[in-house]
Structure 1
Amino acid sequence: MALNVNILYRETIKPSSPTPYEHTTYKLSLLDQLCPPMYAPVVLFYSEPGKEFNKNVDDHLKTSLSKALSHFYPFAGRFKDSFTIDCNDRGAGYTRAQVDKDLSSVLNQQDANSLQQLLPCNPHDRSADLCNRVILAVQVNIFTCGGVAIGICIWHSVADASVLVSFVRTWAAVARGGSIDSDGVVVDCTSFSSQDLGGFSTGQYSDRDVLPNLVTKRFFFEASKITALREKIGSVGPSADRPTRVESLSALIWSAAIAIAQEKHESLQDLRKRMNPPLSEQCIGFINQLAVSQWPLSMNSSEYSGLAGTLSQSLRIIKGEYLRKLHADGSYLERIKHAGDEQAMKYIGGVITISSWCRFPLYETDFGWGKPTWLGTAMGLNNLVIFIDSKDGEGIEALVTLSKEDMAKFERNPGIVKYATFFSAHILTSKV
């Protein structure tokens, strides 16, 4: 569904206070450098905040954004080079837009491609030079019904999903009149020191996965269906091996992907809690690592228990000692360079990547007019699945991006048909 989005104006929001001199340079880590060059997007949807508040929504949001930026100072800076951000307070992008439809016209669609129209920039647009590109941009969209959608894009190497959530919730807290804890909001992560990439580029990976015929659709898994799936998988082995919600759904979707000739699964893992000692939740950057699982096409993929067990094993090894050894000798970059070629020789087919945003409290993001009715993301990468908790925290919604041809096959998969709901009836739009 195409939306008619009219851009009313654009401006730059600068931090409310200047960045202290000792914080004017931010060094990227190796993991930041290896992140594909793209923005991480999210869109938060709100029912009508009230006509009186609508008249002042811009000033209110811009003022609170300015205050939040003073604590997340790298987000208002610009890249100096591929290693460094100059925290020069040049500011974040802010766009105000009007949408020609009601909020319900977006919320009641299974097709999620229209979300990109509510973002301040194309997540994969690299037309601007790196040093002139904004690190953070926001677009406030007002619908004809009075509903609001706030689209946010942040450069992915500077912020993963965990940091994005932390920033958005801080911004919302300021908008509600709350205070910010000035201690430890931004922590420099030195556990993965930067390196000279020696000509190695991650751009090729995102270029490979950004295709013209991609479609993103929403699949909702009710709590009862997830429980049934977990019990089905857990009944095969010991009760101690019962998979988590995310592992169960990952196995289900991986099985469907294998049926359309995919056999390799990657799960993006936040390393903050897996380090020893754990890193601060406020530690900015792309602090993630892929947990890779493989399943040859020759093996039966209809038994979810085998897939879930393979996934679980790949996740369990990513712990503090494993990570310390992996990065201790500085050879991690070389392993990354050669991993793709080695795996391509062993396996035929493609890759499906799953990123879980479950347990991130995005539905608690209240700018002063209530919590979100719904939220989504629009990465637009081929063979990518993102899990997001439902508003009640019990179910899980999967945003699945595939080619049009593969999506048609995916929707007909018996497991998907059995466990997923195709219409987003779980979203309450009665007030919209």
Structure 2
Amino acid sequence: MVVSHVEVISREMVKPSSPTPHHLRNLKLSFLDQIAPPVYIPLIFFYKPELGNNIVRAQKSQSLKQSLSDTLTRFYPLAGRIKDDIFIDCNDAGVEYVEAQAHAQLSHVVENPNVEELKQYLPIGPFGTSAAMGEEALLAIQINSFDCGGLAIGLCISHTIADVSSLVTFTNAWAATARGAIENVINPSFELAFHFPPRDLLGFMPTTGITKEKIVTKRFVFDKMKLATLKESASSTIGSRVKDPTRVEAVSALIWSHLINVAKSKLSPKKIFVATHAVNLRSRMSPPLPDHALGNICRFTHALSMSEGHGTEFGDLLNKLSSAIRKIDSDYVKDLQIGDGCLDYLKVMIEIFSKREVEFCNFSSWWRFPVYEVDYGWGKPVWVGTTNFPFKNVTILMGTSCGEGIEAWINLLEDDMILLERDHKLLSLDAGKINA
């Protein structure tokens, strides 16, 4: 049951503190932006009450608004609007800024989070209206003040213009501005269209992938010790050729293997299991792009497994997934920059997706993004989360507050989640705590 305890106090538009120069008014979307799903990306930062600090809510709000306005002068496209699906009109229309009162104790929300209820801390429904199709703001922010003095800052950014890395870059710049650490604020790069020029999409239209079926989200927490055990098991398991898998590879392959078991237990006609995994392209380009390069600088790789015979065991799946991720290299990026093969590939994948014998498991890793460095002047967040995604078989991997663990936010059909929660082997790895 979802309990509503957030009261919206005000809504307004916050604009850059200095007008965007005329020669910067039109920013082309890159090819990677053109094919991004037309949804918003949600992130929520939770801050505990400050001991011995008497800063009132009004002062915090004024500081946040002013620093946001100042930050937008550097990140000026975020205050613009998309025009004709091909460029951003950097017209300083502003970002949506919402203030709300959360009639609850932050500790209760953080220690026992109800994933469905976390939507209350977001300024908009991230998977409803798309900023790619009209005059909606490209960035929306909600400041939630708890009765105990804690704060939750919810952000939604249009996926048409940014990936998660871009959102975290902006948020850290805003926080540094708010606490007066101007020397830590970088000047972002908006040159993605130079590297990936926009193209005629030849009739291809990006879709949200939203399902009308009921999706349930469960958060599994793998702490440092569990991850070490999992990596050791991955290296020594029969069939594994990956001797030192990353934590993300090991967790993704583990979850993929359990989701395959769920599909098999239903006696469905699935014959092929495909794992898609988002890969950050910044460090894989030649020369590499800096972390503060903004846009959709990521692509999905695909690993395939057949349900008949062998090949769906943990070690085999890890081999396939790790190999697929490592294929995303500088040569892959060059092909992506100069060829139209990506569009043809996307069309083929959509056709495959529509067939009943294929089961997709989708992974996106937000681990290692510096979300726990976002300090507005009253300390680092005690927890950073997201919300449930209305997509079938989607897993978001996030870091824990100590930096050593991984939170896996798994989104499944309700019946599939019931089956997964009976998997005692997977449940035995779940630490269940945010500070794992």
> With structure 1 as the length reference, what TM-score do the two structures score?
0.92
- Where does residue 77 of structure 1 map in the other structure? 80
Is the Cα contact below 8 Å between 2:131 and 2:160 reproduced in 1? no
Moved more, 216-225 or 48-57: 48-57
Is the Cα contact below 8 Å between 2:116 and 2:387 reproduced in 1? yes
Counterpart selection for 1:199 from 192, 198, 203: 203
1:267 aligns with 2:268: no
Q: Secondary structure at the match of 1:58?
A: helix
Q: Which amino acid aligns with 1:324?
A: K
- Where does residue 384 of structure 2 map in the other structure? 375
Q: Which amino acid aligns with 2:300?
A: L
Counterpart selection for 2:416 from 384, 400, 406: 406
Counterpart selection for 2:348 from 329, 332, 338: 338
Shift in alpha-carbon separation, 1:137–1:45, aligned structure 2, 3 A: same
Matches within 5 A, 1:83-98: 83-98=86-101
Percent of aligned positions with the same letter in both sequences? Answer: 38
Q: Which amino acid aligns with 2:43?
A: V
Q: Which amino acid aligns with 2:314?
A: Y
Moved more, 224-233 or 279-288: 279-288
Shift in alpha-carbon separation, 1:382–1:95, aligned structure 2, 3 A: same
- Where does residue 27 of structure 1 map in the other structure? 28
1:387 aligns with 2:389: no
Q: How far is the alpha carbon of 1:10 from its aligned partner?
A: 0.2
Q: Secondary structure at the match of 1:336?
A: helix
Matches within 5 A, 1:54-203: 54-126=57-129, 130-179=133-182, 184-189=187-192, 190-203=194-207
1:424 aligns with 2:427: no
Is the Cα contact below 8 Å between 1:43 and 1:151 reproduced in 2? yes
> Which stretches in structure 2 are left out of the alignment for 5+ residues?
264-269
CA offsets 1:17-56 (integer angstroms, 9 cap, x no match)? 1112221111111111111100011000000134424331
Q: Which amino acid aligns with 2:323?
A: Q
Q: How far is the alpha carbon of 1:344 from its aligned partner?
A: 5.6
Is the Cα contact below 8 Å between 2:186 and 2:292 reproduced in 1? no
Shift in alpha-carbon separation, 1:247–1:128, aligned structure 2, 3 A: closer
Moved more, 402-411 or 242-251: 402-411
Q: How far is the alpha carbon of 1:302 from its aligned partner?
A: 6.2
CA distance in 2, matches of 1:174, 1:75: 16
Q: Tell me the number of residue pairs that the alignment of Structure 1 and Structure 2 aligns.
A: 422
Q: Secondary structure at the match of 1:354?
A: strand
CA distance in 1, matches of 2:242, 2:131: 51
Is the Cα contact below 8 Å between 1:386 and 1:400 reproduced in 2? yes
> Which stretches in structure 1 are left out of the alignment for 5+ residues?
428-432
Is the Cα contact below 8 Å between 2:372 and 2:381 reproduced in 1? yes
Q: CA RMSD in A?
A: 2.1
> With structure 2 as the length reference, what TM-score do the two structures score?
0.91
Q: How far is the alpha carbon of 1:4 from its aligned partner?
A: 1.9
Shift in alpha-carbon separation, 1:331–1:349, aligned structure 2, 3 A: closer
- Where does residue 241 of structure 1 map in the other structure? 243
CA distance in 1, matches of 2:360, 2:326: 20
Is the Cα contact below 8 Å between 2:34 and 2:86 reproduced in 1? yes
Q: Which amino acid aligns with 1:116?
A: K
Shift in alpha-carbon separation, 1:183–1:408, aligned structure 2, 3 A: closer
